[in-house]
Amino acid sequence: MLTLALRSVRQRPGQFASTLLAAFLGAGVIMTFNSLHDTAGQPGVDSVSAETLSMAAGVVGGYGTLLVFFAVASTLTVNVRRRSVELELLRCSGATPAQIKRMVVGEAVVVALVGALLAVGPAMLGGRALLDMFQDTGQVSRSVDHAFGPVALLSGVDITLLASAGAAFLAVRRTTRRAGRHDRVRKFAAWAALLTGGLAVCSTFALSATDAALMAAPAYGAILLSVGCALLSPKLLTGVLDRLPLTGASGWLAVRDLRQRAGRLAGILMSLVLFTAVATATLCMQSVESDATAASGLRKSVEAKNLETLNLTVVGIVVVFVCVMLVNSLYAETTYRAREFGQQRLAGATPGQVLGTVAVEGVIVTATGVLLGTAAGLAGIVPFTVVRTDEVLPGQTLGIWLAVVAVAVAVTLGTSLVTARRVLRTPAVVAVAVAA
């Protein structure tokens, strides 16, 4: 089965592009930050520099692992679903479920390995750039040289491989087995995340305004809340759809399409919710913190500076990563629907109406994602602001929120519509025949 896996990767490299991209980016992020562990572990690094480096590596490394797992899992799920016809064919030709599982997991591991190895070069450069940034702000002494050693390499390759293999295993099991038990696990995870997130957010009130760790509790709380919301989002989406009085052919079709596909959109919604919550919450809290420090007339300590750099880096990475993943999974999902679009056209839909349907679907999904993300983000921002200053909602929130939403809308609608336009260039009869 492994030979078959290798052959199928070699024959159709295009099909694995999205998974490769996810693995590449994920491994890149992990290795970039974990190379700071290597750097800190070198002999002759002073303790302040070492601590800064280790903290940065630890915080973002944790994030990175979570993100990589998400990203690889969502692309692999789309990929496996796309190949259901091929997998069914294999089953009909006598492959046992275990063999199919081995093949899909084998493919995923091969692709992940290639992605991780490709990421080594960029991660070395990224790590160096990151170290330069810390040195420029004076948080790490100039004498420290960047090192790319075993920690970075091993953690990057291991995490990517493990995430890929695990995600592939889950994805293929989901297609060979009907849902039910999985739903319960998901529900449990969602409520657990919401509960822990809620506790984390509330624990903010137990800290004092000048506590260095003040930002950590609401920030992690917001992330956990958004994960919980994201896990529940397909259910919420269905609820929204039942209440939408959309008329017009495109709206009518969009609502009915989405109601059926709600479960499949979990990955995309997850990215949207996380993106909105993390970006809004971290940027708002950081600006409140900076303003409060400036207002108190104190010079920023190294610790405060560290935190700021870290926050901004985290947001930057999360935003870029989630954006790429959003584009990636939306592209895969929309391409996958070529046959469906062909069927709509044969039933009498003009290309404009098909695009209209895609646009309405995009707007509904984006609105749901942004709404949940905003709720989770606010849950983190408000307690922080209340404790740090005496306001409830900082004035900058609206501006930051608008910018974040604008990016989310542009990415979601832009990708879906551009991809759908490209897909529509194939004549309807051909599009329908492709996977018949």
Partner 1 sequence: MFRSGARRTHDQGPAPEALRLVKVSKTYGSYGSDDSAVRALDEVTLSLRRGTFTAVMGPSGSGKSTLLQCAAGLDRPDGGIVTVDGTELTGDGEAALTRFRRRRIGFVFQQYNLLPTLTVAQNTILPLKLAGRRVDRGRVQEILTAVGLGDRLGHRPDQLSGGQRQRVAIARALVAEPRVIFADEPTGALDSRSARDVLALLQQAVKVHGRTVVMVTHDPVAASYADSVQFLADGRLAGRLQAPTVDAVAERLAHLGDDMPTGV
Shorter beta-carbon distance to partner 1: residue 344 or 412: 344
Q: How far is the CB of 119 from partner 1 (least distance, A)?
A: 38
Crossing angle of the two packed helices 351-388 and 338-346, in degrees rounded to 10: 130
Return d(Cα 403, Cα 401) in angstroms, integer. Answer: 5
Return d(Cα 318, Cα 67) in angstroms, integer. Answer: 8
Shorter beta-carbon distance to partner 1: residue 253 or 273: 253
Tell me phi and psi for residue 390, to 5 degrees.
Answer: -110, 10
327-347 burial code (b ≥16 CB/10 A, e <16): bbbbbbbbebbbbbbbebbee
Closest alpha carbon to 251 in 369, 368, 343, 349? 349
Helix (H) or strand (E) holding 376: helix 351-388
Q: How far is the CB of 222 from partner 1 (least distance, A)?
A: 34
Return d(Cα 156, Cα 112) in angstroms, integer. Answer: 10
Shorter beta-carbon distance to partner 1: residue 70 or 341: 341
Q: How far is the CB of 82 from partner 1 (least distance, A)?
A: 15
Return d(Cα 327, Cα 305) in angstroms, integer. Answer: 33
Q: How far is the CB of 180 from partner 1 (least distance, A)?
A: 18
Q: How far is the CB of 280 from partner 1 (least distance, A)?
A: 33
CB 315 within 8 A of CB 278: yes
Shorter beta-carbon distance to partner 1: residue 56 or 428: 428
Crossing angle of the two packed helices 97-136 and 2-11, in degrees rounded to 10: 60
- Residues in contact with partner 1 by the rule CB under 8 A: 249, 252-253, 256-257, 259-261, 340, 342-353, 427-429, 432-433, 436
Q: How far is the CB of 259 from partner 1 (least distance, A)?
A: 8
CB 268 within 8 A of CB 378: no
Structure tokens at 98: 């275990």
Shorter beta-carbon distance to partner 1: residue 253 or 307: 253
Structure tokens at 320: 């870029």
Shorter beta-carbon distance to partner 1: residue 10 or 259: 259
Closest alpha carbon to 83 in 161, 157, 4, 25? 4
Structure-token match 């009085």, residue found: 245
Q: How far is the CB of 424 from partner 1 (least distance, A)?
A: 8
Shorter beta-carbon distance to partner 1: residue 89 or 392: 89
Q: How far is the CB of 343 from partner 1 (least distance, A)?
A: 5
Q: How far is the CB of 359 from partner 1 (least distance, A)?
A: 16
Return d(Cα 209, Cα 383) in angstroms, integer. Answer: 11
Q: How far is the CB of 257 from partner 1 (least distance, A)?
A: 5
Shorter beta-carbon distance to partner 1: residue 291 or 340: 340
Return d(Cα 233, Cα 226) in angstroms, integer. Answer: 10
Structure tokens at 76: 């692999």
Shorter beta-carbon distance to partner 1: residue 257 or 308: 257
Shorter beta-carbon distance to partner 1: residue 25 or 253: 253
Shorter beta-carbon distance to partner 1: residue 37 or 337: 337
Q: How far is the CB of 352 from partner 1 (least distance, A)?
A: 6
The Cα angle at residue 378 between residues 376 and 382, in degrees rounded to 5 = 135
Residue 91's CB is within 10 A of a number of other CB atoms, namely 14
11 burial level (CB within 10 Å; 0-12, 13-18, 19+): exposed
Closest alpha carbon to 267 in 10, 67, 32, 75? 75
